[in-house]
Amino acid sequence: MDIGELIRDLRTARGWSQGLLASEINKVHATTLTREYVSNWERSKVKPGPFYLAALSAVLDVPLAVLEGEVDRREFLTDVAGAAIAPVVASDLISAGFAARLRGGPSADEWEAKLTTYGAQYMSMGAADIQRRVSGELVTVQQQLDDPRLWSVASRLMTLYAKTFPGSDGSKAVHWYRMAATAADESGNDEARVWVRGRAAIALGYEGASLGVADVLADQAMAISDRPSLGLLNAVMGKAHAAAIRGDRATALHLADRGRRIFDKAGSHEQTSDYTVPWWRMNVFLSLLLARLGDERGAVEAQEAARRELPAELPRFATHLEMHRGLMLARSGDLLGGAAYARKALDALPPEKHSLTLRLLMAEIERT
């Protein structure tokens, strides 16, 4: 995707005209940008320079690194070698990749079994552990992408990998979500295309990070297919959270109602996988959404419904619910009490069980 197309996507996701985007940049940065100049960007006649890239980053709520370019394979290999996230040293990663190419690597069915395992592990393991494990798998699956089915596998692994980076960091999480969407497109599998985009949207919306990107990915998912599915459910709920954070109560509630209807048709029976949305997890989504909207009664009902069915082996999600109560306290005016309540809940969870999403939620409560 070139920079012009990206600017257009982010602008339209906010419902802005080219003139309004120019006006917002002028308002914040005291410039004299015109609608025609924005049009030239979007048609790739002119590329924005460093100053305007920074301005677009601030106004469109998108990390600067996303506007500056995409991560490629070489950068990923450098990342896993240099950022202390690889399960083995760089030479072993490269060796594993070539070995997979020479031997053919795991079959599609074996990869699907791996995905099932990682989906379950994500629910109870810490971000660092998942990141180390999945980084090696990504190096291996890169060597098998002659098979379109493995683009679907790769896209779902990328999505899980992206979840190990905080969205508010900007660059890494969003890079990986966008690459995951492109990889899913290569698979030709609409279910994977919708799921990857929806999972990214709910992750960013729930975290309150890169809301413009969350909206774009959610809109793309809904445009691909309106058939009730977990991917569509995630997309709708991610967009609802983005609306709630922006203060658009009516849109947030409308989307939440739509999400409930989709859940009635597509909700999961499986309880402990990141690739599923059972009733308790739907209520975790609703709990935070309603807490953000100041609907204390609705939030408490969602929390109680979630607790009734939340598996005991998933204490991290019980911590989520407790922290939502801290957010409610803070929003009701008890700022110090809400932050203290949330901090106590987070500290009660063993550090190795912490997720980056919980840390972002704690930061949101403290900002409140």
pLDDT tens per residue across span 174-192:
888 999 999 999 999 999 9
DSSP state letters, 119-152? HHHHHHS-HHHHHHHHHHHHHHHGGGTTSHHHHH
d(CA 101, CA 287): 46
Q: Residue 352: is it exposed, middle or buried by C-beta count within 10 angstroms (0-12/13-18/19+)?
A: exposed
Closest CA to 298 of 324, 264, 267: 324
pLDDT at 88 over 50: no
Q: Which of 33-42, 63-72, 280-289 has the lowest mean pLDDT?
A: 63-72
d(CA 55, CA 307): 43
Residue 30, classed as helix, strand or coil, is coil
**Does 121 or 216 have the greater pLDDT score?**
216
pLDDT at 273 over 50: yes
- In eight-state DSSP terms, residue 349 is S
pTM of the model: 0.76
- Write out the two tokens for 103: 């031997």
> Could you count the other beta carbons within 10 Å of the beta carbon of residue 248?
15
- Write out the two tokens for 195: 């799921």
Angle at CA of residue 94, ends 91 and 99, nearest 5°: 120
- The kind and range of the H/E element at 172 are helix 171-187
d(CA 71, CA 90): 18
Q: Which of 66-75, 106-115, 291-300 has the lowest mean pLDDT?
A: 66-75
DSSP state letters, 289-347? HHHHHT-HHHHHHHHHHHHHH--TT-HHHHHHHHHHHHHHHHHTT-HHHHHHHHHHHHH
**Does 320 or 102 have the greater pLDDT score?**
320
> Could you count the other beta carbons within 10 Å of the beta carbon of residue 236?
27
Inter-helix orientation angle 171-187/190-207, to 10°: 160
- Write out the two tokens for 347: 């500290």
**Longest pairwise C-alpha distance within the chain:** 62
Given a contact cutoff of 8 angstroms between Cβ atoms, the answer to whether 237 and 203 are in contact is no
d(CA 324, CA 290): 9
d(CA 304, CA 287): 9
pLDDT band at 71 (very low <50, low <70, confident <90, very high): very low
